[in-house]
Structure 1
Amino acid sequence: MNKLVERFLSYIAIDTQSDDESSQCPSTPGQIILGQKLKDELLTMGLCDVSLDENGYLMARLPANIEGAPAIGFISHMDTALDETATNVKAQIIENYSGGEIQLGQSGEKLSPAQYPFLTDLIGHDLITTDGTTLLGADDKAGIAEIFTALSYLIEHPQIPHGDICVGITPDEEIGRGANRFDVKKFGAQWAYTIDGGKVGELEYENFNAASATIICHGVSVHPGTAKDTLVNAMNIAAQFQLMMPQDETPETTEGREGFYHLTTIKPGIARSELHYILRDFEKDGMARRKAFMKKQVEALNKRLSKGHVEVVITDSYANMAEQITPHPHIVEIAKQAMHEVGIEPLITPIRGGTDGARLSYMGLPCPNIFTGGYNFHGIHECISINSMRQAVDVIVKIAQLTAQSTHKQRTIG
């Protein structure tokens, strides 16, 4: 398992932060650099059908060592989030964490149980944190390291039965493009699991329905010296619109199965200002209501304005994967049994977000999500438990084994 940590540290050393302003795929060159490294590693391990295409999609296959078992897959993404820099990541390892505050390098930042109560559950664990100046990249390079370590373990222990194990590493997941050019037929799995969750035990097969809304505020720009009765400041219009949005339906005021509206970015200007929102709801009807509400608010503001006007553009992002996974309960049951058999209590929770698996499920590849052992993704306080990473490896191996064994048992009984 030392190789697990070695892999992870080598992956986070490569800056793969995606870029939502880029039209390229992958959106940043670092993803191809990491992709080539991962490709070489898979070839060294002896996997078959290893390919890295020009868009940064990496696929490979570990051949079955038992006949008749279905091909299953494990998927992670190589890019990191935009929220904090991923350049020059300097991780630190806290061995046998004894509790209390953790100083993050010399940055002055710290991890405190007062702010992050989950730390009390990690006493005795070996932790990997940032130095307080970058994100860590556990989302989702931990998933890659765990999948690769599980593959290596299966290769080194041929007595463990398994069918074909398909591996997929995607680019640009953090900007919503990870499934855009994913070739499900080439991948070859009947179903798969994204290894892209958080705390130990997380098993998720339900996620938000997601959409984005751009509010475009049109004003009139003239010289301020002659602006009387002529200038219309689009930023003032934008401010009025934001004040019309419900303040108790935002990410910071909701939890569980509650949806929200989230103002993510503002592009200000006198003649034109834009407000960019994301809309989230677990129910189709709830999402329809949210879209209708945005349109209604635009209409209401336009009626109030004597000058200038507002328009809205709404785009669907992804849908709740539960609709595609619940008809195939064995996919979730195998993962639950795997966790039980390695001593983990499954935590069935809805994802307050999305994964590549959400879109892949609608592309014919049912794809629940499994934990990596990480916390505080997308920020400088990101950390991960090495102990939990090892448990993720155990779960991946056990899923492969149980899938083959259950298939063999059914065939024998039949």
Structure 2
Amino acid sequence: MEKLVERFLSYIAMDTMSDGRSDTVPSTAKQLKLAERLRDELLELGLEATMDQYGYVYGSLAGNVDREVPVIGFISHMDTSPALGGECKNPRILSYEGGDVRLNDKIVMTEEEFPALKALHGKTLITTDGTTLLGGDDKAGIAEIMDALEYLVAHPEIKHGKIAVGFTPDEEIGAGADHFDVEAFGAKFAYTLDGGEEGEFEYENFNAASALIKIQGKSVHPGSAKNMMINSMYVGMELEQMLPKAQRPEHTEGYEGFFMLNEIRGTIDYTEMDYLVRDHDREKFEKKKELMRDTVDYMNKKYGGILELDMKDSYYNMREMVEPHKEIVELALDSMKQLGITPLVKPIRGGTDGSRLSYMGLPCPNLFVGDYHPHGRFELVAIEEMRNASALIVEIARRFCAQTTGEV
């Protein structure tokens, strides 16, 4: 089995799920085990590497040219989504020739439900056993960065400047950039490897906010509840019905934003509701937040001030920060074309560490990793696309050096 796949399988077998309710950094101590391993692997390759107190791993491969070349970076995150268990120890590898994919005796991934399968005929897929996430988001990106670094170390004839790499915790809970040391990272620009299908390239993403709604009900014995009980769960359900149903994720695509009820926890006495608010357009994003506030205000007037809203911005559309540096967009697209990869430029219907890093002074578009259907048991990766993602890292480093030194 090739080293890229071996690495990937070993990474996904490690549980690195993050926890949005935790107040530690990283949010789960188990992420540190992968961080330590990645630091050690970088050192074994001959790179400089450190792990800081927050679990961030930084590494650098020295350039092999005698001219000044600005540092470029590649970044992936170590944690997996809290949506489902992420300790994937029973993945399946299959040569896919079309049709439905049976993950286990009860769960089948059909081409009708998952039309992306139709473009994967003839490729070698790694899937879950239907009980966990795969972890391709974003351990595919980590494996590809490590594979590209190993290739560059083994092929010194490929000229490149200094390359910085970073592996972050807690991206899935929106905290991946919280303690990222941009100055120490030292790159002029970087790319996250956190995308999907082959050719996918993104430098636009949602403006994002999180909203926590707390509802204090009134619990009394149901036998004497008339005109007294206020069931906080019913209030929450009523509030949800007031938000536009057409603006839920399952009814939107492309540049369309949404409100998403991410989690609800409740009893008659007390309920909490976690929402995600998203839109690519900043003006529409602000209007969505205003609608959320107005809805809570209306419900408070109706029920006597029993709701509390805590809404915070999470990140903004990186386009504003990347567009002044379109050369890094062209570098990625030209490198894809050189490798025979058809670029697929599209907006991210979500965010990456690069969304926030771009506003922290590190322009950071997003590259594909060959991962499909993340955040669920139907997640899969295509090995051929992972190989191409690794080759793209090498080509970007080579091409940027050649452009900077006047050889292209």
TM score, norm. by length of structure 2: 0.97
Distance in 2 between residues matched to 1:308 and 1:267, nearest whole Å: 20
Counterpart residue number, 2:336? 339
Superposed counterparts of 1:285-324, under 5 Å: 285-305=283-303, 307=304, 309-324=306-321
Counterpart residue number, 2:143? 145
Counterpart residue number, 1:40? 40
Cα deviations across residues 345-395 of structure 1 (Å, max 9, x unaligned)? Answer: 111100000000000111110000000001011111111110000110111
Counterpart residue number, 1:371? 368
Match of 1:171 among 159, 169, 172: 169
Residue 138 of structure 1 and its aligned partner are, at CA, apart by 0.5
Asked if the contact 2:88–2:128 (Cα under 8 Å) also holds between the matched residues in 1, the reply is no
Distance in 2 between residues matched to 1:226 and 1:339, nearest whole Å: 69
Residue 299 of structure 1 and its aligned partner are, at CA, apart by 2.2
Superposed counterparts of 1:224-235, under 5 Å: 224-235=222-233
Asked if residue 51 in structure 1 is aligned to residue 37 in structure 2, the reply is no
Distance in 2 between residues matched to 1:241 and 1:361, nearest whole Å: 35
Residue 290 of structure 1 and its aligned partner are, at CA, apart by 0.8
SS at 2:254 equivalent: coil
Superposed counterparts of 1:121-132, under 5 Å: 121-132=119-130
Counterpart residue number, 1:404? 401
SS at 1:357 equivalent: helix
Distance in 2 between residues matched to 1:8 and 1:399, nearest whole Å: 22
Asked if residue 256 in structure 1 is aligned to residue 247 in structure 2, the reply is no
Superposed counterparts of 1:181-220, under 5 Å: 181-220=179-218
Distance in 2 between residues matched to 1:185 and 1:89, nearest whole Å: 37
Counterpart residue number, 2:357? 360
Counterpart residue number, 1:13? 13
Distance in 1 between residues matched to 2:64 and 2:305, nearest whole Å: 68
SS at 1:222 equivalent: coil
Structure 2, gaps ≥5 residues long = none
Cα deviations across residues 74-117 of structure 1 (Å, max 9, x unaligned)? Answer: 0001111111111353111113x21112222x443222222222
Distance in 2 between residues matched to 1:388 and 1:347, nearest whole Å: 14
Residue 308 of structure 1 and its aligned partner are, at CA, apart by 5.5
Asked if residue 390 in structure 1 is aligned to residue 387 in structure 2, the reply is yes
- Over 3 Å counting, the alpha-carbon distance change for 1:237 and 1:16 in structure 2 is same
SS at 1:312 equivalent: strand
Distance in 1 between residues matched to 2:177 and 2:123, nearest whole Å: 34
Asked if the contact 1:107–1:133 (Cα under 8 Å) also holds between the matched residues in 2, the reply is no
Asked if residue 245 in structure 1 is aligned to residue 219 in structure 2, the reply is no
Counterpart residue number, 1:29? 29
SS at 1:328 equivalent: helix
SS at 1:64 equivalent: coil
Asked if the contact 1:298–1:312 (Cα under 8 Å) also holds between the matched residues in 2, the reply is yes
Distance in 2 between residues matched to 1:74 and 1:42, nearest whole Å: 14
SS at 1:248 equivalent: helix
- Matched to 1:402, the amino acid is R
- Over 3 Å counting, the alpha-carbon distance change for 1:123 and 1:62 in structure 2 is same
Counterpart residue number, 1:81? 81
Cα deviations across residues 116-135 of structure 1 (Å, max 9, x unaligned)? Answer: 22222112111111111111
Asked if the contact 2:35–2:55 (Cα under 8 Å) also holds between the matched residues in 1, the reply is yes
Asked if the contact 1:107–1:132 (Cα under 8 Å) also holds between the matched residues in 2, the reply is no
Structure 1, gaps ≥5 residues long = none
- Over 3 Å counting, the alpha-carbon distance change for 1:146 and 1:88 in structure 2 is closer
Asked if the contact 1:89–1:135 (Cα under 8 Å) also holds between the matched residues in 2, the reply is no
Distance in 2 between residues matched to 1:382 and 1:197, nearest whole Å: 13
Cα deviations across residues 44-73 of structure 1 (Å, max 9, x unaligned)? Answer: 10002x101121100010001122111000
Distance in 1 between residues matched to 2:237 and 2:124, nearest whole Å: 47
- Matched to 2:348, the amino acid is I
Residue 303 of structure 1 and its aligned partner are, at CA, apart by 3.0
Distance in 2 between residues matched to 1:215 and 1:124, nearest whole Å: 47
Distance in 2 between residues matched to 1:223 and 1:308, nearest whole Å: 22
Identity of aligned residues (%): 50
Residue 157 of structure 1 and its aligned partner are, at CA, apart by 1.0
- Which segment drifts farther, 111-120 or 187-196? 111-120
SS at 2:215 equivalent: strand
Asked if the contact 1:107–1:131 (Cα under 8 Å) also holds between the matched residues in 2, the reply is no
Asked if the contact 2:212–2:309 (Cα under 8 Å) also holds between the matched residues in 1, the reply is yes
Asked if residue 265 in structure 1 is aligned to residue 273 in structure 2, the reply is no
Distance in 1 between residues matched to 2:368 and 2:228, nearest whole Å: 57
Cα deviations across residues 13-61 of structure 1 (Å, max 9, x unaligned)? Answer: 111111112111112222111111111111110002x101121100010
Residue 226 of structure 1 and its aligned partner are, at CA, apart by 3.5
Tell me the C-alpha RMSD between the 2 structures: 1.5
Asked if the contact 2:88–2:134 (Cα under 8 Å) also holds between the matched residues in 1, the reply is no
Distance in 2 between residues matched to 1:269 and 1:98, nearest whole Å: 49
- Matched to 1:326, the amino acid is E
Residue 272 of structure 1 and its aligned partner are, at CA, apart by 2.4
- Which segment drifts farther, 14-23 or 231-240? 231-240
Distance in 1 between residues matched to 2:205 and 2:174, nearest whole Å: 14
- Matched to 1:87, the amino acid is E
Asked if residue 101 in structure 1 is aligned to residue 100 in structure 2, the reply is yes
- Matched to 1:168, the amino acid is G
Match of 1:326 among 323, 326, 350: 323
Asked if the contact 1:216–1:311 (Cα under 8 Å) also holds between the matched residues in 2, the reply is yes
- Matched to 1:301, the amino acid is M
Distance in 2 between residues matched to 1:286 and 1:187, nearest whole Å: 34
Distance in 2 between residues matched to 1:187 and 1:308, nearest whole Å: 48
